[in-house]
Structure 1
Amino acid sequence: MITSPIWLPVTLAAGAMQAWRTAVQRRVGKSLSVNGAGLVRYLYGLPFALIMLAAYHALAAPGAWPVLGAQFWPFCLAGAVGQIVATNLLLMAFDEGNFVVGTAYSKTEAVQAALFSAVLLHDHLSVLSWAGIALGVIGVMVLATGGRPTAPAAFVRALGERAALYGIASGTVFALAVIAIRRTTFEVGTPDHILAALVTLAATVGLQTFLQGGYVLLRERGQMTRVLASWRVSGQVGLLSSVGSACWFTGFATAPVALVRIVGQVEVAFTMAFAHFYLGERMARSEVAGLLIVAVGVVLALWGAR
């Protein structure tokens, strides 16, 4: 159920921010472990999340703070842990393949989110939206295989490679995490969807900082020094992460998870742009073809949601 038209512009903004943040984070991650690189997103994102919440509450939604429902923290914890695990899996996929391919495999999250939300949240999509999902998956698979003709048996074997397994697993966990986050926003006692999203964001990032920060201190103490020393670039990661997450959370609070994630596939276009201009990776014709297929899928999904 779509409760506000704001979901579309914030979802497009979220895709751009996430691609930008991931590109910057990958550059920071070259000197950090998987857990250290993941911590950067939360540790440096928390101050910005709190500032956005305080500013919005003071300027746009003054008054008493909303009451949190009994299931707020359980769902918030599930979403926080899910995002940590999924982010680490995505970074591990990057270690096994190039930036665009790792992201492409993780984009199977769109179809997984559609299936999970249909079962768990009873979200219903039109036939056109499902067609858009299918095209989106085909598009990201074209990106993942580099456009090379692949026999079915070879394709199955390719899915057994580490980059594919990590990417697909990342998509699965991300899909479940965003469903938990959407449920968390329902537990914030306010009709203001943006305020509910920002409250959920601040709580989620706070939990993630505590959990992953505690793990790094206990198991990889040397990484904490590197994380703190990288503050110039890591601060950018934190800012982009918080703004992007605020947009994602607002989208989840105002529209079905599946629809937000389908449209969010435009992140692939931004990812390709950042990979080409920021990371210096060359763009192949097959990547352009895959991008066009994804774009058609997004258009179909939007048409079906009218």
Structure 2
Amino acid sequence: METWVLLALGAAFLQNLRFALQKRLAGALGSAGGAGARFVFAAPLAALGLAALCLARGETPPAPSWAFLGFCVGGGLAQMAATRLIVGLFAHRSFAAAMAYTKTEALQTALFGALLLGDRLPLAAWGAIGLGIFGVLMISSPPEGLRPGALLDRRALIGIASGGLFGLSAVAYRGATLALPEGDAALRALTALAAVTLLQAGLTAVQLEVGRRGDMARLLRAWRPGVAVGLTGVGASLGWFCALALRDAGSVRMVGQVEVVFTLAASILMFGERPGRREIAGVLVVSLAIVALVLATR
């Protein structure tokens, strides 16, 4: 199996684990603190990882260019905005239906990659991405399905916008790694990751202090679970960044949709829930789509 596929699969697994840890932390600190832990504790870990890699190799980080900084800022802001939109979906009753629309991320990522970076995918790969989105919708949509009358309601538009912003951030992060003049995939990925997380941590700290005084202090006091969130977050992000340095963003994010399979497996193993026929069929469709995509892009 190709390296970028393994990296994307590992990143999806760690991201699923990070979400579980964040959910537990949010119960004690609120949604703002739980979401902020992802950035606040990840930034120093990413910086330490970059320093350790450079010391071990006797190298220095690649010199940043204006294009690199632009991609980092654009990607970091897009990711934060997408996260805020997802949080806003919690206020709606049909949360599951709205969340299903965020799963159009893989297709939007491929489109952004073609438009902004000139990524080119064979026709078979586009078909695999479409098949994967169908499988993900089978797993994540509510039992009553996605009503035709709600295809363009406010919740659907929020979900689609969130997926688009996540796709835009993935393309920007690939652009950041490609904009660095030197270094292998790991060095370029860690350099971009450190820059992005430092920006996001700074913005998060300001938001927490402005939103409600004392939230940042409470988050720092919860450093033990926060570090666990940071470690899994850095691991997942590093996997994404390395994969994006090796492959087009649309293919990487499509393989990353295997996260819904991990989520379904966790619900079975940890909570004793039994999936229905539609969920099982969706898992098979997503798995088939990933295999088809890998074969189409070899």
TM above 0.5, yes or no, is yes
| Equivalent position amino acid for 1:14 in 2 | A
| Equivalent position amino acid for 2:71 in 1 | F
Identity %: 36
C-alpha distance 48-96 of structure 1, shift in aligned 2 (>3 A): farther
271-280 or 296-305, larger mean C-alpha shift = 271-280
* Aligned ranges 1:1-306 → 2 under 5 Å: 5-59=2-56, 61-93=57-89, 96=92, 104-146=100-142, 148=144, 154-157=147-150, 160=153, 162=155, 164-278=156-270, 282-306=274-298
- Aligned 8 A contact 1:128 1:303 in 2: no
SS at match of 1:270: helix
Q: 1:271, 1:99 → 2: CA distance?
A: 17
C-alpha distance 55-255 of structure 1, shift in aligned 2 (>3 A): same
- Aligned 8 A contact 2:109 2:250 in 1: yes
CA-atom RMSD in angstroms: 2.5
TM norm structure 2: 0.90
Q: How many residue pairs align between the two structures?
A: 298
| Equivalent position amino acid for 1:198 in 2 | L
The alpha-carbon deviation at position 133 of structure 1 amounts to 0.8
| Equivalent position amino acid for 2:34 in 1 | A
Provide Cα deviations, 1:94-128, integer angstroms capped at 9, x if missing partner.
56479976764322100110111111111111122
The alpha-carbon deviation at position 141 of structure 1 amounts to 1.7
Unaligned 5+ runs, structure 1: none
Q: 2:140, 2:185 → 1: CA distance?
A: 36
C-alpha distance 227-283 of structure 1, shift in aligned 2 (>3 A): farther
| Equivalent position amino acid for 1:268 in 2 | V
C-alpha distance 276-217 of structure 1, shift in aligned 2 (>3 A): farther
Provide Cα deviations, 1:145-164, integer angstroms capped at 9, x if missing partner.
346466xxx334165263x4
208-217 or 68-77, larger mean C-alpha shift = 68-77
C-alpha distance 149-196 of structure 1, shift in aligned 2 (>3 A): closer
C-alpha distance 156-56 of structure 1, shift in aligned 2 (>3 A): farther
C-alpha distance 27-156 of structure 1, shift in aligned 2 (>3 A): farther
Q: 1:167, 1:46 → 2: CA distance?
A: 27
- Aligned 8 A contact 1:100 1:143 in 2: no
| Equivalent position amino acid for 2:222 in 1 | S
Unaligned 5+ runs, structure 2: none
SS at match of 1:30: helix
- Aligned 8 A contact 2:101 2:159 in 1: yes
| Equivalent position amino acid for 2:38 in 1 | R
- Aligned 8 A contact 2:97 2:145 in 1: no
TM norm structure 1: 0.88
Q: 2:85, 2:280 → 1: CA distance?
A: 26
